[in-house]
Structure 1
């Protein structure tokens, strides 16, 4: 059986919400190991006794980490068999944590293409609906997000957060609650593709014109133009990400 402890350390990690609890850190590192392919589908992970003794952590922390991964579809646990890595078809690829784990390693082209295909289906349609249904308050939220994004740039975490706020505001302006509920997935996709491009030095020189084009069309209540502008925005983001992937 491969040594699952080689895939990660249990050191504390700082996140936007502060330090994760130990089981969250274990789940994170195991999640990255699984999504990066270091643990293959069908592989049986170390049992909780072996794992806890090797890394000097409590068995309860490991069990909780496994429960987190199981809830996201990455593993399944069975009596007398152990914890097995599942096939990717069972993973919750819309979960923001799972997307983050993919991009913290080297995401496969299959996953990246699938994510952008999803965005291309959802976001242009959302932009068209937003153009027809947005309120003045929602429009002001979009404008404020773009102004912050322009001022702070995508080279900063705050600028990247403003980018996500803009995309979320567009989804909110559709007036469609099920569609708006996808904001966390779309936001995670925007966040981690931007992070990955930045890591590969492939951020666009000026992403603002295509974002303002979407905003201007929504402001003008021009649904067709809003749809086309968002298609251009998403297609350009895919092109930049594909270029970064090609260099690894």
Structure 2
């Protein structure tokens, strides 16, 4: 069973990722979590208390909080007389906002990107179908306000993206399904926060994207669930075709 790295270089405080207002135990959890995601700490690796304390120069209180965070995310398991061990990816909670953000920040392989695309399409189309049944007049007004903001954004990619994200979150909320809305919100917000997704470039592409969003809004307002689901699938599919990935950091699956 592999042991936690003991090389002197592994114990530097500079290994702590992030910063700013992020708490110390959050930084430790992020660093170890990222190493688990990347395979630097493969399944079965033992995380010895003494080694972790020495590496990060932290107190046992910080260590306990960091381990609690990693356990909640499905990265590790702790057992009496066995210790703390890294788990394989079948246990990882990819719908945890931190886990998803850490994975995206590392660069996506084609396999994970494909999995994420399938989930986005499934949840998005289901939310659109439900929204066509449960939407309120206020929901429709909000969608159209976000559409207007997308039109007004013009060449401002950031403004377009913010309005698009707000539009998608409104559709998810209009579905009336709290779980669906939560899952969709985590995925879309994390994607937007982790990298600037590819937005339609050029006037013709932007107009086509706006037409697609208008089609979705019209379908939801008209109560046509199948039309709404189809429109959402088309929107997500077009975004993926444009290469909506983190700065082009897509790596081939090993």
TM range (shorter): 0.7 to 0.9
Q: Which residue of 1 aligns with 2:87?
A: 86
Alignment match of 2:200 (pick from 204, 208, 229): 204
Does residue 230 (structure 1) correspond to residue 232 (structure 2)? The answer is yes
The question of whether the paired residues in 1 share the 8 Å contact of 2:13 and 2:55 is answered with no
Structure 1: stretches of 5+ with no match in the other structure: none
The question of whether the paired residues in 2 share the 8 Å contact of 1:48 and 1:63 is answered with no
Q: Which residue of 2 aligns with 1:10?
A: 16
Q: Which residue of 2 aligns with 1:187?
A: 188
TM-score by length of 1: 0.80
Runs in 1 of length 4+ with deviation above 6 angstroms?
A: none
Does residue 40 (structure 1) correspond to residue 42 (structure 2)? The answer is yes
TM-score by length of 2: 0.79
Q: Which residue of 1 aligns with 2:122?
A: 121
Separation in structure 1 between the aligned mates of residue 178 and residue 53 of structure 2, nearest angstrom: 43
Separation in structure 1 between the aligned mates of residue 45 and residue 95 of structure 2, nearest angstrom: 23
The question of whether the paired residues in 1 share the 8 Å contact of 2:130 and 2:175 is answered with yes
Q: Which has the higher contact order (CA 8 A, sep 6+)?
A: 2
Shift in Å at residue 176 of structure 1? 2.6
Shift in Å at residue 100 of structure 1? 0.5
Separation in structure 2 between the aligned mates of residue 114 and residue 8 of structure 1, nearest angstrom: 33
Of stretches 163-172 and 182-191 in structure 1, the one that deviates more from structure 2 is 182-191
Q: Which residue of 2 aligns with 1:21?
A: 23
Separation in structure 2 between the aligned mates of residue 7 and residue 83 of structure 1, nearest angstrom: 22
Of stretches 143-152 and 58-67 in structure 1, the one that deviates more from structure 2 is 143-152
Shift in Å at residue 90 of structure 1? 0.7
Separation in structure 2 between the aligned mates of residue 105 and residue 230 of structure 1, nearest angstrom: 28
Q: How many residues align?
A: 237
RMSD: 2.9
Indicate the SS of the match to 2:41. coil
Indicate the SS of the match to 1:69. helix
Shift in Å at residue 235 of structure 1? 1.3
Separation in structure 1 between the aligned mates of residue 150 and residue 25 of structure 2, nearest angstrom: 34
CA distance change for structure 1 residues 83 and 149 in 2, over 3 Å: closer, same or farther? farther
Of stretches 25-34 and 141-150 in structure 1, the one that deviates more from structure 2 is 141-150
The question of whether the paired residues in 2 share the 8 Å contact of 1:164 and 1:190 is answered with no
Q: Which residue of 2 aligns with 1:95?
A: 96
Shift in Å at residue 209 of structure 1? 3.9
